[in-house]
Structure 1
Amino acid sequence: MSDNRRGVLRDNPEAARTNAPPSGYLENILNAAAAADKENVPTGTGFSPTDKAAFAPAATPSQPAPNSRKRKAPATPPAPQRLPTSDELEDIVIDAPMRENCDQVRRKINRALDAGIITKTGLAGEIGVSVKSLNGFLREHGAFKGQGYSSYPAAWEYFKKLDAVGYKIPNKTAAAKKQKTDSADGAEADIGKVDVSDIHLEGEETDEVPVYDTCDEIRRKIDAYLRRPGVTQAQFCRDIHAQHQSAKRPANIHTSQLARFRGMKGARAGATSSVFYGAYVFFEKLRIKEKKPMTQHRKDMEEAWPNGFDRTDDGRIAALRTPSPRKLLDIMDNVTPATSSNAVQPIQHYKRTLVGVRKVTAKKKIEDHRTVVTVDNWTVVGLTAHMKRYKVDDLVVYMEIDSFIPKTNRFFELWPRMTDVFDGEQGLRVRSHVVAGTWSQGMIFPLEQFPEITVYYHNRVVKVGQENATTEILKYSFADHLGIKKWEYPTHERPVTGIIGELSALIHKPGNWRIQDIGNVVFNPRTVNTRTYQVTEKLDGVSMHVYKVSNSSKDLLDFFPALRPLPIADKPDGDGIPIPPTMQTERCRVGVCNHSHEFFDDGKNIYWETAKTSGIIDKIHQIPFRNIAIQGELVGSHIQGNTMRYPEGKHEFVVFGIWDIGAKEYLAFKTVELLCKTLGIAHVPVLGYGPVTKYGKNVKELLAYADNLGTGKYGGLRRGLDLQG
């Protein structure tokens, strides 16, 4: 029966009574049509003309169906429908208003993922968004949280199209309940319940079982387990709650807690959650019960974390803790940790390790009574008479290039060389230079010269053993303890004006690991040929950010300096410079910053001047994201001594990335490159994409490649390479 026919019957009850067919006729036609549809009978009226059941009188309450109380055998479940592809849905137009909020769309997405009809990557491809955008949308919680993600309208439209073609997403929970009800013996079987109570792990009585998985790995296991037939989230929550046995065990674990943990992203994100610990213990017992071997990931984690993964740090605690082992940087995501709170959280920025304990890996005499000592992949050249005290495998204190050593009694031997001034303090800037044809990069000192480090190290040796203590101390930075600062070159010949506040905590400060520090990670034999990098030229400029934040994002705007007229120095009681339209539009706020401060558009600031002449202030509104920060380098004739040889007075803003402020993640590198190309925005020169072995088989070859890049577009030497992966 058509929709129009039903409308007539519903909207004109008098006509319905006048033209009504015999009692039970419509019901039997609809029932017959449904039966024919299930059997794929091609009919014109919805039933077969030979189907006598269509004309049978309807059953009445006084005539109950025979055998109505007889237990029915469980019906054979119908074969699952094939999921239509985006090509098959392309011609369907949805012009209905969006009435489903973000949480409702998220529930549909999670139901589809849990049912196993599509993967997250497959869904992202079907709706035309990146996996990062989809993950960001799924991490949000709240009816109106996530409206800025393109995944929200795209997923809504996708599911509406599925509804239009009659496709129903399987309800896994309902199917499990039906399987219980229709069990052959009539008993309520515990579908999906796995009994692991007969497995015992050391430390479970006090909830101190060592954990050898990251949060992301546990999330992967949870997703896979929930796809098993009959497994429900409620039962799984009961199972993992049963793994908590101490007096401090949680009262219960709700499905909302499970959903919150699954929505996070990052190796540490959710480490303090009761879901993380309970799920790990459950899966470890399940592995033992099913007699499955340990994975290579598990073995690596056990080697790197002998005492178990740190469950007290979920990535939001800014304290001196053991960072992730360098050998596991390819497993650990320690760049932009996610949070378990719905509230806006500041970003933990990358911080370079200026001073640390390193191990001497090689030593070699060269000409002119000099000796080269290698720590990790760094080479330090000194007089042989001074270098003879260092031996291979010795622990030393290493200070990187651009460390600023203050003039204190501790470093009295360096006083004659301390002619640099930084932040009003006299000291020594550690530089790289060539000695006897060999690069000397940094400075080394005997470990015994720093009693606070040696005392800490020996205390850790007593507590955890020498091997574990050495592993820990090699990861720490002692720059703050020793008063060592990062030298900042006087970057501008022109003074910077119009500072209105510090860089917002929501904008991630980009930072690079040096290849000498993570060479063993980049050239890890297991990943070196599978990981893809964007390789770009490293520019000799200064950090610059141009951002926009929607006026409707009040929770984000609170983290940015307040906008008010800029006071004039010689007129303190005046009205000041009014807020220009470049900084505040009807739809959003626009800001320009360097690595530490935000600036007012006072007509004199070099950052604002460059942003306007490059056209980025107008073009940022054409990028289809509500809250973003375009990040790049300010380069030109008045920057860094003009090593790139720009013509006098010429400056550029050259983009290398776009930070999604709401999602707390970077857009894909190729997406950024394509956006810049489409909008005519300067992008850092891309040398290529591919595995790092395309440019060198080891650290030494990669450094040699970087040293021979030649000159840039204005004749200045290229500074080096940036690898983003």
Structure 2
Amino acid sequence: MEAGKHTPAHERHGIESQADATASAPKTLPAPNTQGETSKEFAHGEPSGTLDAHAEIAASTKSMTPTTASPDEIGSGAPTAIMDNSEAYTATYELETNPSTNTQSMTCPTEGTEMQNNTQNSDETLSTLMQSTTLGQFTETETSAALTDDTAWQDSTLESQPPPWTLGKTKQSPQISRTASYASVLGAGIAAPAPSGPSTVVKRKLVTVRRIRRIDEPTKMNGQVVLHIDGWTVVESKHPFMDLKDWKVGELVVFFEIDSVLPQRIEFIDLFSNPKRLTTFQGKPGYRVISSAKGKYLSQGLVFRLKHFSDIYGPFLDRCKEIGHKAASKEIMAKSFEDLLGVVKWELPEEDIKEGVAGITPAFVVNPSWYRAQNIEREIFAPSWRNKVWQVTEKLDGISMHIYKVAAGSKWFGTLPVLPQGQEYPASMRDARGHVGVCSRAKDFMDRPGNLFWDAAKGGSSVASKIWDIPYPNISVQGELCGSSIMGNTMELAEGEHRFVVFGIWNFDTGTYVNVKEVAEICKRLQIEHVPIIGYYKIGELASNMEELLAKANGKGTGAFGGISEGFVFRCLDGKNHFKVISNEWLAVTGK
């Protein structure tokens, strides 16, 4: 598929498609138009504004509808996690809306406790909406305590910041049945902290039970919400998998940290249906949890309903009956469950380290992807596009490459891979200012001798060092890696010649492209090689239909670097819309 699109909540952001680039002006083109326009209709090469979250989210932070509750409010409220199928007891609630404070509170009349949710779009007052919720085989006294005595989470959740670490050694445990005692389940988690000393094993908690502290609902994220869990943010579908109920503030959930490798279990069946995210680790198939960029948000981790895992949820209910909900919540939130669920921590394979691969392409690096003109003919020649001014460049035949920088202390810096013990980033990649990286569509590379990507980044225009002179703290410079050993060398470069040619700059902080004219000016000032710019035109100045537009591409002839020209790339001056026009002559000659 030529177009960029957004992946589901559990998938990494990124699309397969060729990157763009561009060259010298043909004699058949009219004089360029220097007046620019800005389009708010579509975003990031999409023919429909609803398909792209990057620019939409970045431009609409005021449209957020947060749902939040303070620790005290959540602490005394009824936990969603244990509101599930029972025959023995029914608790009655009253849901009231206070129009003066624009909040909703759920109150158990007999206990006088409440949980509050901010609801900015609450327009009416709900007087006494009776809501019945069933709970699992509790006596009346036990259930009331479980619902209201719920402040322990403040100690175990708010005071810890991600990633949580624990001291002690682990032991393997067999599968726990629904009727197993909770003590046996705890045995599958991390043991109590051991005395400090040289023999102490430090182990990262990968799977823990936590509470949702806040929920943001960006209005243009197509049914997705942003869950705040301690210091992490996770972008999820509004309705969890196989569940029609919305996520709730204060809800107990099972949280899987990034770099968790999930095994083939029935609970993860939907994840394993996506072959692009599967991996083989330690000789077994698995699903690796990674960060993914959703517009200006980083989604870091996976979240499941507590009841999704019967071997955790069932014993938790039993434990609530034995010691009360407050103590049971504190107990379960202090443990980790990776051993119980068969989850292990992903580590970079030794062979990748030897080859100079630092890991996969960082989540915040967005791979370019443009529609082919033939697929969006209606949009191209509609008035909204036809009358806008576009930067037209020659399309180069190479592979996508990114040179990125991340400022020290930024939120993106903490997502960079931690090298194995004994490995260090070279000075060309890491200093007091931050981090410089080089990556392809799929892999992030270490600066090692002989690495083709790093050789191109440091050679030629020296973008790897000049990137610090670009006036944005967190960006990726996008371009085409062209050369004699790439794509059959249709550009006819000299043997052994490889060059990185820039066509765009992606701003991580705004989730948008830098204006194309500004990119060209930056490249000129810093003497960085930019794709050949043919000019700035309105589409109507070049063609009135697809046949005429293709004829322009076919007539381009020899490219700026040599060889037959692949075609054109059109980029709107607002950085949101892009498409490519491939020469049919180039396709015939190259056989591509």
TM-score (norm 2): 0.41
Structure with the bigger percentage of helix: 1
Higher relative contact order (CA 8 A, sep 6+): 2
Structure with the bigger percentage of strand: 2
Query: Which protein has the larger Cα radius of gyration, Structure 1 or Structure 2?
Result: 1
